[in-house]
Amino acid sequence: MMLARYEVVDLIMGKQKETSLGVQKITTDFKTFTPELQAALRVYQGNLLCSGAYIGSDMRCKADTAFTRQVLHYEYRTHHATRNGKVRVALPGQQISGKEFSLVMEQNPTILPTENPDAIRPAGKNAKTCVRYDDSGLGAGVQYEENGHKQLIYSFPLESLEQFEPFYENAIMWLTK
């Protein structure tokens, strides 16, 4: 997997998580960060935007947690991190700082719902909480920057936001400035 030619990579994980279906099934499917993707991200030097409802709870074995800490600079905290689906941008200096955004939490015909998003927290220096769930105060996003390399990791699918465009535009502007 060659990512080096891209200035920004946007990983859209949605509600993807590892599953094992069937009685005789030995392998699992739909892992958020497969070993192949982990290897590609370990060497990627560009900027990364990643979002998904289960990017924490799907990464709980020792090797996976080492990857999220060392490469993506976040740790899993808990699941069911919000009841009302409101998120607030927490870092000053962001164009949308302090603004509240709403996640769609129930089935509907137009927007992917997020019923039980994870909470994450920063891991290591240069990583900061950039978005919080409004009702619980738990981290919903981690921003990382070091040596010209930037990452925004969100523990909810961006496509679940009712106000997707301004949130996404702000993320892309920060990653490319």
CATH number of the domain at 71, please: 3.40.50.880
Would 145 be classed as within a structural domain? yes
How many secondary structure helices (H) and strands (E) does the chain include? 3, 9
Give pLDDT, residue 24: 65
Per-residue confidence (pLDDT) for residue 164, from 0 to 100 = 94
Residue at 131 is within a domain: yes
Specify if 7 maps to a domain.
no
- Where does the pLDDT of residue 127 fall: very low under 50, low under 70, confident under 90, or very high at 90 and above? very high
- SS3 label, residue 99: coil
Neighbours of 113 (CB within 10 A): 15
Interval 15-61: pLDDT, tens: 988 876 666 665 667 889 999 999 999 999 999 999 999 999 999 89
Average the pLDDT over 84-93 and give the result.
85
Q: What percent of the chain has pLDDT over 90?
A: 81
Does residue 116 sit within a domain? yes
**66, part of any domain:** yes
Domain around 113: 31-176
Question: Average per-residue pLDDT in the chain?
Answer: 91
Average pLDDT over residues 103-132: 95
DSSP structural state of residue 26: -
Reported pTM: 0.92
Is 105 within a domain?
yes
Count of domains observed in the chain: 1
What's the pLDDT score for residue 30?
82
Is residue 6 situated within a structural domain? Answer: no
14 in a structural domain: no
Q: How far apart are CA 161 and CA 75, in angstroms?
A: 23
